[in-house]
Amino acid sequence: MVRLVWPVRPLPDGRGEVWRWRLARLSELSAARAGLRARLCGVGRPPGGDDPSSEQLILAFDELASNALRHGARPVVATVVAGSGGWLLDVSDRAPHSMPAPTCDRDPAHGGMGLQLVARLSVAHGWYVDEDRKHVWACLPTEVDDREPAIA
């Protein structure tokens, strides 16, 4: 099985409104997504599928948080920084020795494609360890280009 590298990079300087969720169980993720959607509406983003950038942020939030809950150590902390240049998503867990491991040769029907998806949606992504926590992060734009994505 071939694995792609999720780059080791420090978290970018994030300035803006900070939203945070502490997650102990996978069953809490649905309420966290709903909370993120409500906060997006609160800052003027259209509800539902009317805003592609908000939907991509929610998808990335779900993928990174569910990965941390499934493969990391709890508690998981999911943080979104709403800045003027885009969204900074940081998800941390207590498994600092377990690096993110995207797969590239798996049949998508078997899952495991979340990190690749987040990498394609983001303008930058990476991970780092801070004391006893692993942080996996992605920067997503607030505006989505309507052109077809380039094939990597």
User: What domains, with CATH codes, occur in the chain?
Assistant: 17-140 (3.30.565.10)
Chain segment 6-35, per-residue pLDDT in tens? 888 887 776 788 999 999 999 999 999 999
* Neighbour order of strands in the sheet with 133-140: 17-23, 76-83, 86-93, 133-140, 124-130
Is the distance from CB of 88 to CB of 137 less than 8 angstroms? yes
| Cα separation, 70 vs 109, whole angstroms | 18
Chain segment 85-136, per-residue pLDDT in tens? 789 999 999 999 999 988 777 777 766 789 999 999 999 999 999 999 999 9
The pLDDT value recorded for residue 75 is 96
The pLDDT value recorded for residue 88 is 94
pLDDT range class, residue 84, cuts 50, 70, 90: confident
**pTM to 2 decimals?**
0.85
